[in-house]
Amino acid sequence: MKLHTAAILLLFWLGIFTVHTVKGSASSQVMRKFRCVNLSTKQLNIQNLINYERQRVPIDAVMFITARGIRICVSPDQKWVQTAIKRIDDRRAAKRK
């Protein structure tokens, strides 16, 4: 009977260890980055844009991030996109001074 109880306790602790190990490895992974797969065709209000990220894969795009945290992907070839990028870069440079 004691051997049976010891085997059950051993299985119980192995189960807890396995769950703890799996949970720890999943939570220690780097957060997945957002990727553009579709591009918006609308021109955005440049004043609402606070940041951007460039992307080459899977498509060439610029992901703008609005003041509300919304991410919108657009084509980097558009003139207004280049203007928006320059304005965001200028704001960053002014903050550093």
CB burial readout 71-90, b (16+ within 10 A) else e: ebbbebeeeebeebbeebee
Q: Is the pLDDT of residue 7 over 50?
A: yes
Query: In percent, how much of the chain has pLDDT > 70?
Result: 69
88, part of any domain: yes
Query: Among the listed ranges 20-24, 60-64, 92-96, which one has the minimum average pLDDT value?
Result: 20-24
Residues 22 and 58 in one domain: no
Domain hosting 1: range is: 1-30
Q: Is the pLDDT of residue 89 over 70?
A: yes
Total number of domains in the chain: 2
CB 56 within 8 A of CB 94: no
Which CATH number is 50's domain given? Answer: 2.40.50.40
Query: Among the listed ranges 28-32, 35-39, 62-66, which one has the minimum average pLDDT value?
Result: 28-32
Residues 51 and 92 in one domain: yes
Residue 43 and residue 28: Cα distance in Å, rounded?
A: 38
